[in-house]
Amino acid sequence: MINKSDDIIVMTIARLIIPFIQLYALYVLMHGHYSPGGGFQGGVILGASFILLIITHGIVEARKKISKKAITLFSSFGVFIYAGIGALCLILSGNYLDYGYLSKILHVDAAHARSLGILGVETGVGLAVMAVMVSIFINISSFGESAPENNTDEEE
């Protein structure tokens, strides 16, 4: 289990830099369809910001920001967004992930609907990748034990 750092410089720098890392991750995610980047890279950078929070502020403090239930919810909700947009195109008489048919419910032309569709899919990918990266890191750093919010009293 990772404990809280006792160095004020490390904690202050981490607290200052984490919002900018997350803002950059959102920039990479939003501009993924016409510049380098995209859902996977944005999600990894977003997960790295949470990992930086866990390293510097300890896992107990980080659990207040992103709980175990939130990680599970985000990882499945990202996959749900991806598959849901694909199935929505299937319902609207198109192929799977054929975003052009989304123009019937979005009331825009087909080219704009494709741009919005790929943005929605990449948001789903980014959420899932972020949650899974944080989950892998927490599981490695705690030997796969359950979260400290469950076993604080009996084991320590």
Partner 1 sequence: MITPFNFIIMIFVLICAITAITVKDLLSAVVILGAYSFFMCLLWAEMGAVDVAFTEASVSSGIGTILMVVAIIKTTRRSKD
- Token reading at 93: 């008489």
> Which segment (78-86, 97-105, 134-142, 145-153) binds partner 1 by CB under 8 A?
134-142
Q: Does 135 bind partner 1 (CB under 8 A)?
A: no
Task: Identify the helix (H) or strand (E) that includes residue 50.
Answer: helix 39-65
> Which segment (72-80, 93-101, 104-112, 135-143) binds partner 1 by CB under 8 A?
135-143
Q: Does 34 bind partner 1 (CB under 8 A)?
A: no
Q: Does 91 bind partner 1 (CB under 8 A)?
A: no
Q: Which residue from 111, 29, 107 is spatially nearest to 99, judged by alpha carbons?
A: 111
Q: Which residue from 52, 21, 42, 38 is spatially nearest to 137, judged by alpha carbons?
A: 52
Q: Reduced to 3 states, what is the DSSP secondary structure of residue 151?
A: coil
Q: Which of residues 58-87 bind partner 1 (CB under 8 A)?
A: none
91-109 burial, b if ≥16 CB within 10 A, otherwise e? eeebeebebbbbbeeeeee
> Which segment (37-45, 64-72, 101-109, 120-128) binds partner 1 by CB under 8 A?
37-45
Binding site for partner 1 (CB under 8 A): 28, 36-38, 40-41, 44-45, 47-48, 51, 55, 133, 136-137, 140-141, 143
